[in-house]
Amino acid sequence: MLRDVTAVRYVTPLRSGGSVPGVVEADDDGTYVVKFTGSAQGHKALVAEVIVGELARALGLRFPELVLVHFDPAIAAAEPHQEVRALHDASAGVNLGMDYLPGARDFTPQLAKTFPVDPLEAGRIVWLDALTVNVDRTVHSSNLMIWPTLGTAPPRLWLIDHGAALVFHHRWDTTAPGKRYDFRQHALGHYGPDVRAADAELAPRVTGELLRGIVAEVPDAWLAEDAGFATPDDVRAAYVDYLLARVRLSHAWLPADFPSPEQLAAEESARAAKTRQSRPAWLKQVPDLHGKPAAEQDWSAHLG
């Protein structure tokens, strides 16, 4: 079961994502990155965070612990930005927290040039993303962290941010479980991910029992608004049925033929050139900044 904690101190907002999560300290002496129920992404993003994150952990991938955070907006009353305060006011009650990784760094394209990743580990992560339709882990925004970065322990890849996964739950009646998605731009594609070995290892472990235990962690309130279902348990059953059907059809959606770094660079150059050509004449001298990676982020700076 996801543990329940209560936020006792609001530290800072994180502006690297559209949902503006916040760093809080809780009554268990832990520090968490909280994704708020009042964000524009809505409850389905939190549902995806729980299901994909807990599935990753069950399959042995590194993902920070998730907790249910009881949040009182009064603890963040000193927040100077009105938009962020409005988000907090709309999020009173239970929100989703992810264990804070002090000193963790973004897995950027620059770091990827020198950071070793085993093809099987890369394959496991790509396989999970393909199963859960997480098309948001790309070379432009990896949603991967490197941690720890200090001490004698070797740095490892940690998965974060799965709110954009499970795209099928936005249109239950029209998305086929065997649909194949484009993962050519996956953040780990150039490591030669062994997705076939990952499929042989992981697919048998994704059982109905495992999935039912995971979806049971999602609070009823986050499922109650899903149109077309009578009860939260009906929504839970739909997630289980869909993911089971998808894992059985892995032969249809298994990613393959990842481009090399050189091919990716050539494709990006061609895309940028096409974008420049389509601009008005007065804009053609303005550099195209789309897709350039964000600077490496050290989360420890947010603790002050």
Tens digit of each residue's pLDDT (9 = 90 or more) over 172-191 = 988 899 999 999 999 999 99
H/E element, 67: strand 66-71
Tens digit of each residue's pLDDT (9 = 90 or more) over 52-88 = 999 999 999 999 999 999 999 999 999 999 999 999 9
Question: What is the spatial distance between Cα 238 and Cα 225, in angstroms, rounded to a whole number?
Answer: 14
Question: What is the spatial distance between Cα 128 and Cα 131, in angstroms, rounded to a whole number?
Answer: 5
Residue 68 φ then ψ, to 5°:
-95, 120
Short-list 50, 42, 166, 157, CA closest to 97: 50
Indicate if the pLDDT at residue 232 is higher than 90: yes
**pLDDT category of residue 106 using cuts at 50, 70 and 90:** very high
DSSP string, 120-139: HHHHHHHHHHHHTT-TT-BS
Write down the domain spans for the chain: 3-100, 105-253
Find how far residue 24's CA is from the centre of its chain: 19
Question: What is the spatial distance between Cα 248 and Cα 87, in angstroms, rounded to a whole number?
Answer: 40
Question: What is the spatial distance between Cα 175 and Cα 165, in angstroms, rounded to a whole number?
Answer: 14
Quote the percentage of the chain above a pLDDT of 90.
75
Tens digit of each residue's pLDDT (9 = 90 or more) over 131-143 = 999 999 999 899 9
Least confident stretch, 67-76, 224-233, 234-243, 280-289: 280-289
Q: What is the mean pLDDT of residues 268-274?
A: 79
Is 224 in contact with 232 (CB distance < 8 Å)?
A: yes
Q: What is the mean pLDDT of residues 15-26?
A: 88
Q: Alpha helices of the chain — where are they, by DSSP H?
A: 43-58, 82-89, 109-112, 119-131, 195-202, 208-215, 220-223, 232-248, 250-253, 261-277
Give me the count of residues in the chain.
304
